[in-house]
């Protein structure tokens, strides 16, 4: 593996959820330890399963891994770190300021930016305190900091003074309020990250356009702030030897090869490794030792016999319930790469073919479904919200209003804050809010919904709520849409995920965020399920068995109602293929389905 050759002291693994960061980080740590190196494996993943992988409890202290000499592990709990961070900031003013003001500060510190910075706060010591890590030759990090976080930590401005002067209105200034005292340590940490002799960043992706595009964006963002020592690992590549077993396997292989032949330009010159898709669960030492080895994909498969697809509701049954109301808002939420855009289009097409007026709105940057559907179906109206365009307009609006009252230094700080992900979330929600109002008379299906964090910010009380209201201006009525989202009679939220461990955990975290914002998800949709189809490939059969556990967890623990959508041979693009996803009895991968429209 190229990314392991002459490995530096610090190795960071980053990528979208579900691409295999944790498995590859664990396998890397095991391999380095087997070579006689003293290794510390550190996870900052909110849903860390490092302990589960090794079959032991780890937690927030350095713990030797008994089964692997030379290896220790540490799980930093970002939520606990964020709570400690909030307590450090809010504690001194509690009892001195009005309760409404304290609640406003706490709300401002409730989101993803605070968690991100607090986790960075926890592991900067591992980058800068030589006494703490002197017993280790390598430190392997699962889940690296984003370029957004590092850029904020590089800012030279006096944040606390900016806040104290009453200028701090925008989205991420609150989380930065507690940073001043540790700027020296942060500066040293950022320098260590940018030192190619000390640090290597490994971008992890799948052979899928969405995850590779995310890796390309991450590459550009990190390279732009000096973190240029990057490698690419494409995980879970379908092996050629499996492609001959059945039409579905053949179609998956061909689809992935087409994606790999058209890598984003930013990734083409990076040192790159490809890891074949494995048939076995990546839990336990034996599996980790095989992950990076060049072995046949089915060697450790525990099951290679056909299974009967589980008796689970179809997407068609959910649409039957949705259609009973005759109108309303249907929001599809979930992490990138799980198929939200496709399923949103499928729901919209199914409702429109039943004669209901439907407005499908998406913020998908590719918007390929919009082009495919345009003018092809009665009763269906399409709109596309360009996140870049609406964010630029929102930034211009804030700078023209609040920025006009600031001096040059204050305006520079405001401009930097407005480059945060929080800003895009709020801007996109503003655009969606204009569409939401139509749901009283027709079906509105929304793709790429705002996160629970954004919804909390928009519904916050106290000072922060008033700040957001001032930024948006008197014409932006965001309270009414929020109330509509919280009303189950008007809105149905569908959480989209995959039947894999990490995506299910991330979907459960999203559900918890939504509940904090007063929104109860209506249903879960498990997309691209191998277990919901019939396959003869030994590799796919084993994968199907692994999915059954996650499907059961969703059915028993997470969802009041759910549906399975089978993995299909062809890309579900175009009206007819979208209708197949919502057919009451879809044909499962029959040979005549191969090909494209």
Banded pLDDT at 21 (limits 50, 70, 90): confident
> Regarding predicted confidence, which is higher, 433 or 394?
394
Active-site choice (14, 297, 502, 533): 502
Q: Can you give the residue ranges of every domain in the chain?
A: 2-291, 315-585
Banded pLDDT at 113 (limits 50, 70, 90): low
**Catalytic residue at 18?**
yes
Instruction: Note the pLDDT tens digit of each residue in 153-169.
Output: 554 443 334 444 444 44
Banded pLDDT at 518 (limits 50, 70, 90): confident
**Catalytic residue at 36?**
no
The mean per-residue pLDDT over the stretch 288-308 comes to 63
For residue 150, is pLDDT > 90?
Answer: no
Least reliable range by pLDDT among 120-124, 292-296, 381-385, 534-538: 292-296
**Catalytic residue at 502?**
yes
Burial (0-12, 13-18, 19+ Cβ within 10 Å), 521: buried
CATH code: domain 315-585 is 3.40.50.300
CA distances from 155 to 105, 176, 409, 526 (A): 22, 10, 12, 41
> Regarding predicted confidence, which is higher, 202 or 224?
202
**Catalytic residue at 21?**
yes
3-state secondary structure 178-200: HCHHHHHHHHHHHHHHHCCCCEE
The mean per-residue pLDDT over the stretch 137-141 comes to 94
**Catalytic residue at 14?**
no
Active-site choice (16, 17, 23, 433): 23
For residue 507, is pLDDT > 70?
Answer: yes
The mean per-residue pLDDT over the stretch 525-538 comes to 91
Backbone angles phi, psi at 442, to 5 degrees: -150, 180
Instruction: Note the pLDDT tens digit of each residue in 442-477.
Output: 999 998 755 655 565 555 433 344 455 556 566 555
Contacts of 28 (CB under 8 A, 6+ apart): 3, 4, 11, 13, 140, 292
Reading phi first (left if > 0) and then psi (alpha if -120 to 50, else beta), residue 473 is in: left
Active-site choice (45, 121, 169, 467): 45
Q: Which CATH number fits domain 2-291: 3.40.50.300, 3.30.1130.10, 3.40.50.970, 3.90.550.10?
A: 3.40.50.300
Contacts of 298 (CB under 8 A, 6+ apart): 279, 304, 538, 539, 542
**Catalytic residue at 166?**
no
Q: Give 3-state DSSP helix, strand, coil % of the chain, rounded to 5.
A: 50, 15, 35
What pLDDT score does 367 carry?
Answer: 52
Q: One fold for both 2-291 and 315-585?
A: yes
Active-site choice (18, 174, 178, 328): 18
Q: What is the mean pLDDT of the chain?
A: 79
**Catalytic residue at 585?**
no
Least reliable range by pLDDT among 329-338, 357-366, 432-441, 587-596: 587-596
45: which 2 tokens?
Answer: 């993943």
Distance CA 18, CA 347 (A): 24
Backbone angles phi, psi at 436, to 5 degrees: -55, -35
What pLDDT score does 302 carry?
Answer: 46
């Amino acid at each position: 593996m190229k990314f392991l050759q002459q490995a530096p002291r610090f190795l960071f693994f980053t990528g979208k959820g579900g691409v295999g960061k944790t498995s590859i980080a664990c396998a890397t740590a095991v391999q380095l330890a087997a070579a006689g190196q003293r290794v510390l494996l550190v996870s900052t993943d909110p849903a860390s399963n490092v302990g589960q992988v090794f079959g032991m409890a780890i937690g927030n202290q350095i713990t030797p891994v008994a089964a692997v000499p030379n290896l220790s592990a540490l799980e930093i709990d970002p939520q606990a770190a964020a709570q400690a961070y909030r307590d450090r900031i809010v504690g001194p003013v509690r009892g001195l300021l009005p309760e409404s003001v304290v609640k406003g500060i706490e709300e401002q510190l409730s989101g993803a930016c605070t968690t991100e910075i607090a986790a960075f706060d926890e592991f900067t010591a591992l980058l800068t305190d030589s006494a703490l890590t002197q017993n280790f030759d390598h430190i392997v990090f699962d889940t690296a900091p984003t370029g957004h976080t590092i850029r904020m930590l590089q800012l030279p401005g006096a944040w606390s003074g900016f806040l104290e002067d009453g200028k701090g209105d925008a989205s991420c200034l609150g989380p930065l309020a507690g940073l001043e005292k540790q700027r020296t340590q942060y500066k040293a940490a950022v320098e260590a990250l940018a030192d190619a002799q000390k640090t290597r960043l490994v971008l992890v992706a799948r052979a899928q356009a969405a995850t590779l595009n995310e890796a390309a964006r991450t590459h550009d963002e990190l390279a732009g702030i000096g973190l240029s020592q990057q490698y690419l690992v494409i995980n879970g590549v379908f092996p050629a030897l499996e492609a001959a077993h059945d039409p579905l396997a053949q179609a998956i292989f061909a689809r992935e090869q087409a994606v790999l032949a058209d890598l984003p330009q930013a990734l083409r010159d990076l040192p790159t490794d490809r890891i074949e898709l494995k048939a076995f669960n990546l839990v336990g030492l034996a599996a980790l030792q095989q992950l990076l080895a060049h072995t046949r994909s089915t060697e450790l498969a525990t099951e290679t016999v056909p299974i009967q697809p589980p008796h689970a509701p179809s997407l068609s049954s959910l649409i039957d319930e949705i259609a009973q109301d005759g109108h309303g808002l249907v929001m599809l939420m979930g992490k990138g790469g799980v198929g939200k855009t496709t399923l949103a289009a499928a729901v919209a097409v199914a409702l429109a073919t039943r004669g209901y007026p439907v407005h499908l709105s998406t913020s998908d940057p590719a918007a390929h479904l919009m082009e495919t559907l345009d003018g092809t179906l009665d009763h269906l109206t399409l709109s596309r919200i360009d996140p870049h365009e609406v964010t630029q307009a929102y930034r211009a609006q804030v700078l023209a209003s609040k920025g006009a009252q600031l001096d040059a230094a204050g305006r520079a700080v405001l401009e930097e804050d407005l480059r945060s992900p929080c800003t895009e979330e709020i801007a996109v929600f503003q655009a969606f809010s204009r569409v939401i109002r139509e749901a009283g008379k027709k079906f509105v299906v929304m793709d790429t919904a705002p996160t629970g964090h954004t919804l909390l910010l928009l519904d916050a009380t106290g000072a922060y709520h008033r700040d957001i209201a001032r930024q948006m201006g008197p014409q932006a009525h965001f309270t009414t849409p929020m109330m509509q989202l919280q009303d189950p009679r008007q809105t149905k939220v569908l959480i989209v995920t995959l039947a894999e461990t990490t995506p299910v955990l991330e979907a459960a975290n999203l559900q918890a965020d939504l509940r904090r914002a007063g929104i109860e998800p209506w249903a879960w949709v498990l997309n691209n399920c191998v277990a919901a189809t019939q396959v003869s490939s030994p590799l796919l059969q084993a994968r199907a068995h692994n999915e059954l556990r996650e499907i059961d967890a969703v059915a028993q623990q997470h969802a009041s109602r759910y549906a399975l959508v089978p993995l299909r041979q062809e890309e579900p693009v175009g009206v007819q293929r979208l209708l197949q996803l919502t057919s009451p009895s879809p044909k499962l991968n029959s040979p005549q389905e191969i090909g494209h429209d």
